[in-house]
Amino acid sequence: MTALQKLLHAQFQHQSRLCIGLDSELSKIPIHIRNHEDALLEYNREIIYSTQQYACAYKLNTAFYEQYGSKGWNILKESVSSIPQDVLSIADAKRADIGNTSSAYAKAVFQDLQCDAITVNPYMGYDSLAPFLEYENKMVIVLALTSNPGSEDFQRLMCNGKPLYMHVVETVMSWKRNADIGFVIGATHPAELSELRRMAPDIPFLIPGIGAQGGDIEATMKANANGPVMINVSRGIQYAGDSIDFGEKAKNAAQEYCQKIGFHS
């Protein structure tokens, strides 16, 4: 089964286009479990267990684990292995480097962590992403137009009559690949999302920026026009509760987001 098939299957099974972000930090998880050994892993497992019926994907941002060194890397790996087999696991790593180096990153994420998908940065061009794109049954999700204010700095520069992010989408779509591809497009740019959806009607978009970053679900879903999509929510779900019932609170938040996003197969 390809990664895209897995995603679409999970979406249909759970009637959900919600991707849940696990950007877990010790200083933010409920106080009562902070002192447990492997507190972050225990926390992640509870969030995953509580919310899985409303998720089509989980996205773990590697930064939050790397900050705890090798112990964090272990928690990352164990957390990924706690994600149900039928739900997509995404390493939000935004990697890319020269060929032999990207091969090592691909090995780290696809083989060691065993994630289904990775986010990558297009700046270094084709050969920097080729080692990821070679993998069958994986998904390579390329940054196009990100949700943050800095997306203005370079991504929107007009290059030969088109903004850079549009060159990225067009060029990446033309590349040879075994993996499925996807694009990151922030929920903070509904007009551009609508345009990109027309350019790439069948490509899955990973859409962050809902919630803490101010993106609007309704405008996003309208602009997406029913293309394959994962709407990511991190802080709005994982930190919905800060006490003994944090799992229940996360579940309720996930259910609510899932319904707001809606599902039409």
Q: Which of 12, 13, 127, 218 binds a second copy (CB under 8 A)?
A: 127
Q: Which of 143, 130, 254, 126 is nearest to 205 (CA)?
A: 143
Q: Which of 49, 47, 59, 50 is nearest to 18 (CA)?
A: 59
Nearer to a second copy, 2 or 101 (CB): 101
Nearer to a second copy, 4 or 20 (CB): 20
Nearer to a second copy, 56 or 106 (CB): 106
One-letter amino acid for residue 218 of the chain: E
Nearer to a second copy, 57 or 166 (CB): 166
Answer yes or no: 107 catalytic. Answer: no
Does residue 255 bind a second copy (CB under 8 A)?
A: no
Q: How far apart, in Å, are the Cα atoms of 71 and each of 59, 192, 238?
A: 19, 40, 21
DSSP state of 263: -
Does residue 112 bind a second copy (CB under 8 A)?
A: yes
Does residue 177 bind a second copy (CB under 8 A)?
A: no
Alpha-carbon span 235 to 211, nearest angstrom: 8
Shortest distance, position 182 Cβ to a second copy, whole Å: 16
Does residue 187 bind a second copy (CB under 8 A)?
A: no
Among positions 39-68, residues that touch a second copy (CB under 8 A) are: 61, 63-64, 66-68
Shortest distance, position 247 Cβ to a second copy, whole Å: 23
Q: Give residue for tokens 């957390």.
A: 79
Binding-site size, a second copy (CB under 8 A): 62
Q: Which residues make Cβ contacts (< 8 Å) with residue 11, sequence separation at least 6?
A: 17, 56, 263, 265
Residues acting as catalytic residues: 94
